């Protein structure tokens, strides 16, 4: 609530939405960890603005653009709202309707796939607990992108704020103890898989196909 009040003071009536983002959105927050925040404001912004206390601020048009291509950090904020302005409620409800379509689930998967590259980069740069965190995210996102029973329910997991138990247990184990030798080898395999041209083209083409199926005019503001 303190963060919300601070954002209200800063943006006034331009504050449209405040939501949670990050590990808490799927029940993976560690004990004592801070809550990451996403805000959408009625301002023109070419890129996301990072404020103190892990608050990411998006202009409404930029947020719309990112939501419409399945950006998971924006989806997290929509599915974990802490504040919604009355003026944003109609558009927010329209977003929810489209997010829960089969087509959108494939677009969401494409952005999870994209995030793996950054996790791998950080994995080789970090050490200790930070490195374990990246290892846990790499393996978790890889399974979410490749195991059929998971890929078909991605948005549902985020909406229920809970991943399948086996994924959560593996995530917390790797965060605490680090990856096993087998999991370290798996990360090397994932690194090769993530850069495979055919894999990237397949996921990109699926995302493009399903994005065309969506009626983009459905979300246009009047």
**Cα–Cα distance measured from residue 13 to residue 115, given in angstroms and rounded to the nearest whole number:** 33
pLDDT band at 216 (very low <50, low <70, confident <90, very high): low
pLDDT in tens, 144-153: 999 999 999 9
Core vs surface per residue 95-116: b (16+ CB within 10 A) or e: beebbeeebbbbbbbbbbbbbb
Percent share of the chain, pLDDT over 90: 74
**Cα–Cα distance measured from residue 118 to residue 138, given in angstroms and rounded to the nearest whole number:** 9
Q: Which helix (H) or strand (E) holds 34?
A: none
pLDDT of residue 41: 97
pLDDT of residue 53: 77
| 33 secondary structure, DSSP code | P
pLDDT in tens, 56-91: 999 999 999 999 888 989 999 999 999 999 999 999
Superfamily of domain 2-99: Beta Polymerase, domain 2 (3.30.460.10)
Residue 209 reports pLDDT greater than 90? no
The two tokens of residue 48 are 């996301």
Cβ contacts of 126-132, under 8 Å, gap ≥ 24: 129/175, 131/178, 132/174, 132/175, 132/176, 132/177, 132/178, 132/179
Residue of 116, 101, 179, 103 lying closest to 146 (CA atoms): 116
Query: Residue 20: beta bridge partners?
Result: 37
Percent share of the chain, pLDDT over 70: 95
pLDDT in tens, 88-126: 999 999 999 999 988 899 899 999 999 999 999 999 999
Domain locations along the chain:
2-99, 103-212
**Cα–Cα distance measured from residue 67 to residue 65, given in angstroms and rounded to the nearest whole number:** 6
**Cα–Cα distance measured from residue 66 to residue 214, given in angstroms and rounded to the nearest whole number:** 15
Question: Mean of the pLDDT values across residues 169-186?
Answer: 97
**Cα–Cα distance measured from residue 145 to residue 139, given in angstroms and rounded to the nearest whole number:** 10
- Collect all residues with Cβ–Cβ distance below 8 Å to 132 and sequence separation of at least 6: 174, 175, 176, 177, 178, 179
pLDDT of residue 187: 97
């Amino acid at each position: 609530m303190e963060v919300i009040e601070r954002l209200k003071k800063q943006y006034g009536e331009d504050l449209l939405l405040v939501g949670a983002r990050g590990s808490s959105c799927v029940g993976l927050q560690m004990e004592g960890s801070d809550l990451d925040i996403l805000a959408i404001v009625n301002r023109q912004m070419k890129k996301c603005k990072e404020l103190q206390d892990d608050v990411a601020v998006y202009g409404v048009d930029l947020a719309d653009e990112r939501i419409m291509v399945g950006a998971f950090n924006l989806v997290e904020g929509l599915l974990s709202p802490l504040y919604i302005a009355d003026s944003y409620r109609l558009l927010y409800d329209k977003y929810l309707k489209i997010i829960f379509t089969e087509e959108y689930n494939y677009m969401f998967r494409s952005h999870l796939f994209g995030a793996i590259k950054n996790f791998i980069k950080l994995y080789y740069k970090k050490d200790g607990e930070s490195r374990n965190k990246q290892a846990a995210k790499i393996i978790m996102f890889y399974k979410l992108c490749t195991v059929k029973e998971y890929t078909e329910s991605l948005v549902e997991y985020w909406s229920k704020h809970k991943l399948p138990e086996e994924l959560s247990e593996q995530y917390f184990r790797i965060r605490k103890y680090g990856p096993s030798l087998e999991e370290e080898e798996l990360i090397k395999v994932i690194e090769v898989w993530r850069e495979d041209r055919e894999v990237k083209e397949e996921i990109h083409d699926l995302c493009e196909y399903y994005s065309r199926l969506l009626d983009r005019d459905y979300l246009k503001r009047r």
